Amino acid sequence: MKELLETVVKDCGYTWRQGQVATYIPELAKARADATGIAVCDLSSGLSGAGDTDFAFTMQSVSKVVSLALALSECGEEKVFSAVGMDPLADPFNSIMRLEMDAPHRPHNPLINSGAIVVLSLLPWKESSQRIAAVSAMAARMTGRKAVAVNEAVYLSEKGTSDRNRALAWFLKSVGNLEGDIEDILDAYFRQCSLEVTCEDLAVLGATLAADGTNPVTGERVVSPEVARVVRTIMATCGMYDGSGEFAVSVGIPAKSGVGGGIAAAVPGRMGIGTCGPALDRKGNSVAGLAMLKRLSEELKLRIY
Ligand code: GLU
């Protein structure tokens, strides 16, 4: 496996040149654009990786998988999916347009920004510090790490440039679809996006979902098989922003990307895959990550469709 991953990095790494690092959160603009790494956590043979497996980046939207898994476990499917939908959206992840146009003004799914903010508000903890502690504990259990910490510089940078996310949240409040202390919920959202990981962490996170909720490295049952199934399904339909349909055809694996350049993928019953590559395409997906996942999916026949 390691040899195959090295070939994948060698053959696909150069594609980063076709993308650009996110700049709308100033701290993300400082990322090394050419960092490229991939890791696989195979459910039978364990972890292997190639390229920049030590490169640390913030989870950004990949964290939405973690908070969704937590909310489904704590509140149940019915409560979560009465507050957010489960349908893909052909608009950018931070778009406000549909939220306003489509009654009942409910986020279309839990993996866009408005949906993730609502998901956080459902968690049974009142304070931002308790919410983020619970999300980061869930991230640690899914990745098999002792702790997953917030990158303070990215958090402050995101918080300082958060007009759009604030607009989404306050709009939701104005139509009665977001309850609680809005600034406090937003604070937890900025912190969860700033949780810092490596592609190896994302491989283990993906493997936990691939193994129906049991972390294959620690052996811990983290979420129920039903929660893992629902999360994988939402990843498959909505995980790659407005590029989810194209990704389903070309790669064919449930996956979630983030503007920090990470992608976590879960191949049911087989493996988790994590990639990093901060240079993004216009939809917000890592260019090198997409190329590596496509190649690996072809080589190992991973498509689930
Ligand atoms: N923190 C980012 C934001 O709210 C997350 C976006 C993403 O990774 O899709 O804009």
- Residue 83 has a pLDDT of 96
Site to probe by mutation for ligand 1, drawn from 27, 28, 59, 60 as the one with most ligand atoms within 8 Å of Cβ, is 60
pLDDT value, residue 85: 94
d(CA 26, CA 30) in angstroms, rounded, equals 7
Percent of the chain with pLDDT over 90: 91
With a cut of 80, say whether residue 206 has pLDDT above it: yes
Ligand 1 midpoint to CA 298 (Å): 29
Side chain identity at 53, as an amino acid letter?
A: T
Structure tokens at 153: 């510089």
Going by CA atoms, what residue is nearest to atom 6 of ligand 1?
Answer: 61
Q: Is the pTM higher than 0.85?
A: yes
Residue 298 one-letter amino acid:
E
CA–centroid distance, residue 259 to ligand 1 (Å): 6
Q: How confident is the model at residue 89 (pLDDT cuts 50, 70, 90)?
A: confident
65, 94, 154, 286: residue to mutate for ligand 1 pocket, most atoms within 8 A of CB: 94
Q: Are 64 and 189 in contact (CB under 8 A)?
A: no
Contacts of residue 7, defined as CB under 8 A and 6 or more positions apart, other chains included, come to none
Q: What is the pLDDT of residues 110-134, one digit of tens each?
A: 999 999 999 999 999 988 899 999 9
Tokens for 281, please give them: 């395409």
**Residue 225 pLDDT class (50, 70, 90 cuts):** very high
Annotated catalytic residue 259: yes
Residue 277 in contact with residue 286, Cβ under 8 Å?
yes
Instruction: Tell me, yes or no, if 231 is annotated catalytic.
Output: no
Does the beta carbon of 194 lie inside 6 Å of ligand 1?
no
The pLDDT value recorded for residue 88 is: 86
pLDDT of residue 58: 98
Q: Pick the atom of ligand 1 nearest to 257's CA.
A: 8
The yes-or-no verdict on residue 284 having pLDDT over 90 is: yes
Given phi > 0 = left and psi -120 to 50 = alpha, else beta, which region is 205? alpha
Mean pLDDT of the chain: 95
In this prediction, residue 7 carries a pLDDT of: 97
Does the CB atom of residue 193 touch ligand 1 within 6 A? yes
Q: Which residue has the higher pLDDT, 4 or 103?
A: 4
Q: Indicate whether residue 285 lines ligand 1 (CB < 6 A).
A: no
Does position 90 have pLDDT exceeding 80, yes or no? no
Question: Which one from 136, 241, 257, 297 is the annotated catalytic residue?
Answer: 241
pLDDT of residue 113: 93
Task: Give the model's pLDDT for residue 301.
Answer: 97
Q: Residue with the nearest Cα to atom 9 of ligand 1?
A: 61
Q: Read off the pLDDT of residues 16-48 as tens digits, 9 standing for 90 and up.
A: 999 999 998 999 999 999 999 999 999 999 999
Instruction: Identify whether 126 is a catalytic site residue.
Output: no
Q: How confident is the model at residue 145 (pLDDT cuts 50, 70, 90)?
A: very high
Ligand 1 pocket, mutate which of 27, 61, 111, 189 (most atoms under 8 A from CB): 61
